[in-house]
Amino acid sequence: MGKERKAQIVLENTFCHIQGIGPRTEKRLWEADIHNWHSFLNGPKPLFSAATYYAAAQVIDESMHALAAEEAPWFYNKLKSGDHWRMFRNFKHRAAYIDIETTGLERDVSSITTIALYDGEKILTYVNGNNLECFIDDIFTYDLLVTYNGKSFDVPFIESFFDIRLPHAHIDLRYVLNSLGFKGGLKSVEKRFGISRKELDGVDGYFAVLLWLEYQNRGDPRALDTLVAYNVEDVVNLEFLMHHAYNLKIKDTPFEQDLAMTIPPRPDVPYAADSGLVNELRRRFFIGI
What span, in angstroms and rounded, lies between the C-alpha atoms of 267 and 118? 10
For the sheet with 144-147, list strands across it.
Answer: 123-127, 112-118, 95-102, 144-147, 169-172
Domain ranges of the chain: 3-69, 91-285
The answer to whether 97 and 139 are in contact (CB under 8 A) is no
Q: Which residue has the higher pLDDT, 258 or 116?
A: 116
Under the banding of pLDDT at 50, 70 and 90, the label for residue 1 is: very low
Q: Which pLDDT score is estimated for 2? A: 34
- pLDDT tens sequence across 14-53: 999 998 899 999 999 999 889 999 999 987 776 788 888 8
- Please name the fold of domain 91-285: Nucleotidyltransferase; domain 5 (3.30.420)
- Tell me the C-alpha to C-alpha distance, in Å, between residue 135 and each of 61, 125, 238, 284: 35, 8, 19, 33
Asked if 98 and 116 count as a contact pair (C-beta separation under 8 A), the reply is yes
Residue 148 main-chain phi, psi, to 5 deg: -125, 110
Task: Please state whether beta strands 112-118 and 123-127 pair in parallel, antiparallel, or not at all (unpaired).
Answer: antiparallel
What is the rounded distance in angstroms from the CA atom of residue 200 to the CA atom of residue 222? Answer: 13
d(CA 191, CA 199): 14
pLDDT, tens only, 96-149 = 999 999 999 888 899 999 999 999 999 999 999 999 999 999 999 999 999 999
CA–centroid distance for 185 within its chain: 15
| CB neighbour list of residue 46: distance below 8 Å, 6 or more residues apart | 32
Contacts of 40 by beta carbon, 8 Å cutoff, 6+ apart? 15, 29, 34, 56, 57, 60
pLDDT at 46: 64
DSSP character string of 96-161: EEEEEEES-S-TTT--EEEEEEE-SS-EEEEETTTTTTHHHHHHTT-SEEEESSTTTTHHHHHHHH
Q: Is the whole-model pTM more than 0.85?
A: yes
- pLDDT tens digits, one per residue of 46-94: 678 888 889 999 999 999 999 999 999 999 999 999 999 999 999 999 9
Percentage, residues of the chain above pLDDT 90: 78
